[in-house]
Amino acid sequence: MKNYIALLLIACFSAFYAKGQVNLKSFKNNGATVSSSKKELVLNWPVGNGAFGKMVLNLDQAKPLFSSLQLGKKGALKEIAVNLDPAFVLRVGKRTLSPESGGWDVFFDRVPTRPYTTNAVKFKKGAASVSSYGSQTVVKINGIESENFKGALEITLYNGSPLFNIAAVVSTQKDSTAILYDAGLVNKKEIWNHVVWSDVKGNLQIEKGAKTDAAKNLEVKYRTVIGENTGGSLAVFPAPHQYFYPLDEAFNLKFTWKGSNYLNLIPDFGIGIRQDPLGDRRYVPWFNAPPNTQQRLNFFCLLSTGKAGAALTEVKKFTHNDSYVALPGYKTMASHFHNEFISDIVLSGKPVPEKPEFVEVLKKTGLNIVKLAEFHGPGHPKGPDSTRLKELDALFKQTKRLSDPNFLLLPGEEANNFYGGHWLAFFPKPVYWVMSRKGDLPFESNDPKYGKVYRVNDKAEMLKLLEQEHGLAWTAHARTKASTGYPDRYKEEDFFKSETFMGAAWKAIPADLSLPTLSKRVLNLMDDMANWGLRKHVISEADIFTITEQNEMYAHLNVNYLQLDKVPDYANGWQPVLDVIRKGKFFVSTGEVLIPKFNVNGKGAGETLKIDASGKTTVNMQLNWTFPLSFAEIVSGDGKKVCRKRINLNTTQAFGKKDFSWPVDLKGHKWVRVEAWDIASNGAFTQMVWLE
């Protein structure tokens, strides 16, 4: 009996001891170091310029997880913060999954109008492990749970930068689920000396930290809130695009928070990121959470030995100060803005500003060319003719007035006539046209005031107009919103097969935090159209309404880098813009990942490559990036199926530029393109190279 008790005690002690150990089997020397003793795990990683970051984790359930965060040169580390815990709030709602609304690709959903729950995520520290993936070191600690979701906490360190990511990685088996999350770091005892953020005007706001300060939501610029201590600062911020689910409006909904007792769920003093569950009060789809997908409820932290302002400067570098940087040989273009400046201001009798706010905002983001989508609600596309022509005339006059040698503001509309779904019309010069034709009026006529006027009666005449005026059309928000089912339903139509129909537009709809990329909806369509045997392209679109300095514009923007040496002069027309788009001589980017150079065996995007019987080719591309890269993917098709070759890029560090060459067998394939994505799910993609 005594022997049995002794063996039982030994077994229990061994089990307890094993549970307390950190599994280091998957950690390999990558420049970071890891050591563990009892309940403490110590990680050091190189952050660049000869400096190191140090993270001390306490795995005792009764103690804060982050015992210490330090930064500096060897032997002279400064302690930035102590005794912090990660905190997460998870909202769980019901997704509408009817086929008519697009299934998981739905946008027209109003999740917060139905019952949903809001709960603090529980974290009971369980088994821990440390793994290395290229230049990244990942700490995984089991024990995350909230409602129907379970998972683990993951902390990722990135060599070459004082940057790390904290994520509650969770999944559910429940179907039709939509989620939203808030997150941050909380102090159990010590409080930040100051909490700092930038207001929407770009001015730093500084408040002393006090345990008695009730939590409040902050309207900030750059999506960042910073804790500042004597030793330095810690910035907390989300992924710049992934964290922002699609909305019609880019309103600044106070995406950060500070203080104690946040939502009456997190009692300790904290700083963090948040989402307004009601969104813009229009369509509010939240994030998809399909069954058994690993949803990453994550945020980034950046350490600095300087003041909060210095930390914010470093954060802003990841998004080029929320702007699109210039590239030699390229001009930036954004499309699909329903600002309704003409209807709401110019034709309303209100004073017309010399420099409208929306123009100044778009210029500050580094955009060279902006294509509007006016008259989507208040306009009169079908007439009366006199009203319609007056609206167009005002649009042409104002876009001409507001253009300059480095900024081209272009007229454009989102139509819902003739073709099916919604689509964008784009002409290379001002064209007066009415989306209807009454009685015996001709298709084309001459107006004494406006000159040539077209009146369009059906899809055949729409195609004729586009051909005659060298215009382009493409599907807006394909396969979702009011274009659910399109362009698939008209893929056999003459107008779709014609050269006037460019293809479709891409925006990150829907949002899914389990994906390492932004929305695949239109990228999949891009591949499908190529396998249909059609040489189509995909342009990016913003599809948002009001544009103000106060808004969170950058999170909802994306850009097309067009291969243009100069911005066309408005007075001479902008045919070169349409030519570049028609030929596929551009790439799409969220801004953080750029593709200045790309070819396959010397042939660039939009061109045709003849390959020999072996099918051996080389994909060459140059990538520029801010966040460390995650992977590139070579996507190709043979007319039936789609093939993907993923290249791991996790050895890259922040802020790099490199030429890559990858051999790939394209035997029997008809097209190929490339995507590149970083660790924050920012990315860029090329147009097709066609194969013969």
**454 plus 486 within the same structural domain:** yes
**95 plus 136 within the same structural domain:** yes
Is residue 675 within 8 Å of residue 592, measured between CB atoms?
no
pLDDT score of 8 = 37
pLDDT score of 99 = 86
Residue environment code for 464-485, b if the CB has 16+ CB neighbours within 10 A, otherwise e: bbbeebbbbbbbbbbbbbebbb
Number of domains into which the chain is organized: 3
Range in 302-306, 328-332, 439-443 with the lowest mean pLDDT: 439-443
The pTM for the full model equals: 0.96
3-state secondary structure at position 433: strand
What percent of the chain has pLDDT above 70?
A: 97
**401 plus 481 within the same structural domain:** yes
Q: Tell me which of 276, 301, 318 is where a domain ends.
A: 318
Evaluate if residue 578 carries a pLDDT over 90.
Answer: yes
Evaluate if residue 3 carries a pLDDT over 70.
Answer: no
**270 plus 401 within the same structural domain:** no
Is residue 371 within 8 Å of residue 334, measured between CB atoms?
yes
24 in a structural domain: no
3 in a structural domain: no
229-250 pLDDT tens trace: 999 999 999 999 999 999 999 9
**354 plus 500 within the same structural domain:** yes
Longest C-alpha distance within the chain, in Å? 111
Average pLDDT over residues 339-352: 96
Confidence of residue 526 (pLDDT cuts 50, 70, 90): very high
User: CB within 8 A of 121, min separation 6: which ones?
Assistant: 87, 88, 89, 90, 144, 145, 146, 149, 168, 170, 297
Tokens 């027309």 sit on residue: 573
Q: CA-to-CA distance for 462 and 101, rounded, in angstroms?
A: 27
Q: 3-state SS of 480-513?
A: CHHHCCCCHHHCCCHHHHCCCEEEEEECCCCCEC
Q: Which of 309, 86, 270, 305 is nearest to 191 (CA)?
A: 270
Task: Tell me the torsion sign for CA atoms 209, 212, 215, 218.
Answer: negative
Q: Tell me which of 318, 352, 367 is where a domain ends.
A: 318
CATH number of the domain residue 350 falls in: 3.20.20.140
Q: 95 to each of 50, 88, 116, how far by Cα in Å?
A: 49, 21, 11
**293 plus 373 within the same structural domain:** no
22-36 pLDDT tens trace: 999 999 999 999 999
Q: CA-to-CA distance for 345 and 324, rounded, in angstroms?
A: 28
Half-sphere exposure of 451 (CA within 13 A, CB side): 5
pLDDT score of 12 = 38
Half-sphere exposure of 652 (CA within 13 A, CB side): 25
Q: CA-to-CA distance for 245 and 275, rounded, in angstroms?
A: 10
Task: Tell me the torsion sign for CA atoms 55, 60, 61, 64.
Answer: negative
What's the one-letter identity of residue 48?
G
Q: How many CB atoms within 10 Å of residue 488?
A: 17
Rg of the chain, C-alpha, whole Å: 27
**225 plus 174 within the same structural domain:** yes
Evaluate if residue 101 carries a pLDDT over 90.
Answer: no
pLDDT score of 125 = 97
Q: Tell me which of 298, 318, 338 is where a domain ends.
A: 318
Q: CA-to-CA distance for 545 and 615, rounded, in angstroms?
A: 47
Q: How many CB atoms within 10 Å of residue 90?
A: 25
Summary mean pLDDT of the chain = 95
Evaluate if residue 13 carries a pLDDT over 50.
Answer: no
Average pLDDT over residues 386-394: 98
Average pLDDT over residues 552-558: 98
**439 plus 583 within the same structural domain:** yes
CATH number of the domain residue 600 falls in: 2.60.40.770
**138 plus 279 within the same structural domain:** yes
pLDDT score of 190 = 81
151-193 pLDDT tens trace: 999 999 999 999 999 999 999 999 999 999 999 999 988 889 9
70 in a structural domain: yes
Residues spanned by the domain of 337: 321-591
Is residue 595 within 8 Å of residue 568, measured between CB atoms?
no
Average pLDDT over residues 62-74: 97
Task: Tell me the H-state helices in 504-635.
Answer: 521-531, 553-556, 575-583
What stretch of H or E contains 79?
strand 76-94
Q: Residue 325 has what DSSP assignment?
A: P
Token code pair at residue 379: 């306009």
295-305 pLDDT tens trace: 999 999 999 99
What's the one-letter identity of residue 10?
I
Evaluate if residue 51 carries a pLDDT over 60.
Answer: yes
**503 plus 630 within the same structural domain:** no
632-689 pLDDT tens trace: 999 999 999 999 999 999 999 999 999 999 999 999 999 999 999 999 999 999 999 9
Number of helices (H) and strands (E), helices first, in the chain? 10, 44
360 in a structural domain: yes
Confidence of residue 16 (pLDDT cuts 50, 70, 90): very low
pLDDT score of 10 = 35
Confidence of residue 37 (pLDDT cuts 50, 70, 90): confident
11 in a structural domain: no
Average pLDDT over residues 400-418: 96
3-state secondary structure at position 112: helix
Q: CA-to-CA distance for 402 and 390, rounded, in angstroms?
A: 18
1 in a structural domain: no
Q: CA-to-CA distance for 162 and 80, rounded, in angstroms?
A: 12
Strand blocks (E) in 346-431: 369-372, 408-410, 413-415, 423-426
Is residue 241 within 8 Å of residue 555, measured between CB atoms?
yes
Confidence of residue 438 (pLDDT cuts 50, 70, 90): confident
Q: Which of 409, 344, 334 is nearest to 376 (CA)?
A: 344
15 in a structural domain: no
CATH number of the domain residue 150 falls in: 2.70.98
Q: Contacts for 393-401 with beta carbons within 8 Å, 24 or more apart?
A: 393/432, 393/450, 394/342, 394/346, 394/347, 395/342, 396/430, 398/341, 398/342, 398/346, 398/352, 399/372, 399/570, 400/570, 400/571
User: CB within 8 A of 394, min separation 6: which ones?
Assistant: 342, 346, 347
6 in a structural domain: no
**313 plus 375 within the same structural domain:** no
pLDDT score of 11 = 37
Tokens 């003849």 sit on residue: 610
- Strands 451-455 vs 432-434: parallel, antiparallel or unpaired: parallel
**456 plus 597 within the same structural domain:** no
Confidence of residue 353 (pLDDT cuts 50, 70, 90): very high
pLDDT score of 20 = 56
Q: 647 to each of 126, 513, 690, how far by Cα in Å?
A: 33, 21, 21
